[in-house]
Amino acid sequence: MIHCYSWPTPNGIKIHTMLEETGVEYEIHGIDITKGDQFKPSFLKFSPNNKMPAIIDTDGPGGKPISVFESGAILMYLAEKTGKFMPKSPRQRIEVIQWLMFQMGGLGPMLGQANFWRKYSPVKVPYALTRYTNEAGRLYNVLDNRLRKHEYLANDKYSIADMAVWPWIIPYFQGVKLDDYKNLKRWYLEIEMRPAVQRGLKILAERQAPGKAIKMDKAAKEKLYGKTQRDAYKRKVAA
């Protein structure tokens, strides 16, 4: 059984999609990041970076429980466990991994910044707005170029790389228009129609709708961007 500790943000949605796509047995535990669930010692024990998603597999390698944090690592773990959405041949495998890493190291962090500066920052900083909106456009263009001649990001086959990128293309506040990237739009709409993607989008959606602004009152902003977050560096946890 996979226990998935998550919230329906892009990083959470990619795992919800994978759970549904593989049909693995799972249970969802909501980590409401606006309420500070990510700082609870019980969560930090297996997610030491105070971020969701994280999973615990009660039936890990050797039949023993294992925990995994970082969404890219979780996708790779679940692909390995189920034998799905990650090819076996080294040449095809590295193609999936490189697009997964592109999402983890570039697309996610940069679009996260674009969303933050455009929507959540209490101050509007023109330089930051321009920098991250331009970067979002540049990254969309990289994907659009790739998808001009390829049906999916890696090996022309739907994989964990597509699952990782897709929720980041859901229109949040990136400041780019999907209509301007026709290959990316074709890919986005095709994946959106997958029944497992639709089921994944329903997970925890009654508490936070995918694609909508994170409901943030003053206390939530404090948790995510204020003292609670700043003081986290002092915390001593055994992970």
Binding site for ligand GSH (CB under 6 A): 9, 11, 33, 38, 50-53, 70-71, 104, 224, 229
Q: Is 175 left (phi over 0), alpha (psi -120 to 50) or beta?
A: left
Q: Which is nearer to ligand GSH, 52 or 78 (CB)?
A: 52
Q: Is 23 left (phi over 0), alpha (psi -120 to 50) or beta?
A: left
Q: Which is nearer to ligand GSH, 70 or 151 (CB)?
A: 70
Q: Which is nearer to ligand GSH, 70 or 222 (CB)?
A: 70
Please report where in the chains the tokens 């940069």 appear, as a residue: 110
- Strands 66-69 and 26-30, by their bridges, are unpaired
Query: Closest approach of Cβ 52 to ligand GSH, in Å?
Result: 4
Query: Closest approach of Cβ 17 to ligand GSH, in Å?
Result: 14
Query: Closest approach of Cβ 156 to ligand GSH, in Å?
Result: 25
Identify the sign of the CA torsion 91, 96, 97, 98. Answer: positive
E strand or H helix that includes residue 27: strand 26-30
Query: Closest approach of Cβ 220 to ligand GSH, in Å?
Result: 10
Q: Which is nearer to ligand GSH, 28 or 33 (CB)?
A: 33
